[in-house]
A and B are shown apart, each in its own frame.
Chain A
Amino acid sequence: MSTEFDQKVHVTLADANLQLAIYTATGRLKEKRIEAVAPDALPDYQELRTQANAIKKHAIDNLDHYLEQFERNVAAHGGKVVYCKDGTEVADFVLALAKERAAHLIVKSKSMTTEEVDLNERLEHHGLESVETDLGEYILQLARERPYHIVAPALHMTRYQVADLFERCLHVPRETVIEKQTALARSVLRQKFLAADIGISGANFLVADSGAVVIVENEGNARLTTSAPRIHIAIAGIEKVIPRAQDLATFLKLLARSATGQLLSVYTSFLSGPRRAGEIDGPDEFYVVLLDNGRTRLLPDKAKRQSLYCIRCGACLNTCPVYRKIGGHSFPWVYSGPIGAILTPQFMGVQHEPALPFASSLCGACGEVCPVKIDIPKILLELRSDTRKADAREHQNRLERLGFRAFAWLMTHPRLFEMAGRIGRSMGWPAGTKGPLGAWLSERDLPPLPAHSFREMWRRR
């Protein structure tokens, strides 16, 4: 009864090269983050986290207000805000606009939000060419894979795999030097930038009081995507809105440090509206698509809606001992790691992959590094309870439920608990390879059973 999730976990654990790649890459990001937020490097780190959490809480608690303010300010700069319920509405909007403007080629900068709704596939299905321009994302698009990691999408691939891929897809001689591979991708993508009709980006922050879309990146491709084509469409989840431009002072200090250990990303772009009279750069048309895609479903739940505070830094992935073993593609949806384990059940429903909230040792490392202080372990526990409630309705996991009822009963009957323990110890560990004991024994040995329990020895003392 092994599920697809179990299978993917097993395959990843069995691949020694992949294990080394994941562990090394996440380890490097993890160490860089630790250095960047150390007390001597950033003395007010904990205060910044508290502040970031408070700002996000305020923004999410007053989401309607700030989205309307953002919309008004975008309009004031000559841009247009479009609300979309789901991926179909996003694709319909882009397709209609492309048709009206006779656009054929789209360049895209990295956006997890568009991954959520499979935008490329939807656009390609209707005959548009949509090209990823972030190097990692471009590699993955050629390989037809989804991102392995929120900030390092091709973290799992070696340069040799990239060499094979470029040779096959770009019809070029095999090239294994990373700098030369980058130059190769650059030469292909530069032509795309020059020819593209539409640029589609994500957004790291939507600033309500200025109507600006803020994008951080390291490669400069987002800046080209948003300025070279005549139309720019930024696609963002509604939770990306923050009240004031000055709040960026808090978030920008935390985001790059948490993600890559950089003090700031190489490029931080503030985009507000299309090119104005007298400006030489920028698009003729500027749209911001605000996507719901399940986010409003999280709002009524006061305990769990903090999941929407996430700024997609990926720190929880790098520090997570589970992610560092099972990698990104074991996860059933686009978001992986601890944040994926809490977002997926809430966006897609707990039945999408009922095992997901349980695939955690609850070590708490994720909550400790989260720059906006999302209490991920607490939400995992809530989701475990939600999943069990959903199971009960579907009559699944009956045996486990019975087991825990028996456990609760035995634990409230101390004399019988003692007797059961005595009988159990006298019989020794049962043999066999099934059930929880078999699962334990598949990886480890059992401790020797003592002749007497503590309470028996305590009485005799």
Chain B
Amino acid sequence: MLNIQDLRVAIGDKEIIKGLDLAIGPGELHAIMGPNGSGKSTLGYALAGREGYDITGGKVEFEGADLADMEPEERAAAGLFLAFQYPVEIPGVNNAYFLRAALNAQRKARGEEEVDSMTFLKTVRESLKALKMDESLLKRAVNEGFSGGEKKRNEIVQMAVLNPKLAVLDETDSGLDIDALKLVAEGINAQRDGKRSFLVITHYQRLLDYLTPDRVHVLAGGRIVESGGQELAERLEAEGYAFLEEESAA
């Protein structure tokens, strides 16, 4: 699904990701944890194709295609989704209109038929209900005036409707209370069908308690310094990131 080899990403002159390797197979859920400033969000943006996050070395293959050659919308149409750490407010643009336009743009790019508004609304309503979000949100502008938790849940609604092959979730758990966290986790689990893959970027272990990741990676200084199973996340939670430094110093 996703195959990253010796990836280097720079913002301007500053190299943030310094030779990262990662392979995610179909149906797998991987978690990336790491201290602040380790390059977690940079990785998410680089995968989604944000301008200014330049891939300066290495290779990122998504379903066999080289991501570096693709525009953000092409990556989306190919099945890549990024849930933003800070979802952007877009005043004046209706949530439902936007989401349907995005879905149809993706389908068009893939040579599929557009979705009619009835089918679309049905899908969205189901997702909203699952995430305990009010339907009136559809009529509001994208993320405008949403609470922090609503914004994060809205990302999961978008994910459910857009139906990606690989979802990168950038600190989707931050700023959520425990109830919202459970809803978001349920939203993610509902999409785990053995084919769809996930890369969950997080600072804390608590979301992973609900997700049971296949692999947990620790990102520090722009590299993956340790990989393991769920137990690695638990160790990080218990001991903090300090032990990494001790180990690397040893």
Q: Do A and B bind each other?
A: no
Q: Identify the B interface with A (CB < 8 A).
A: none
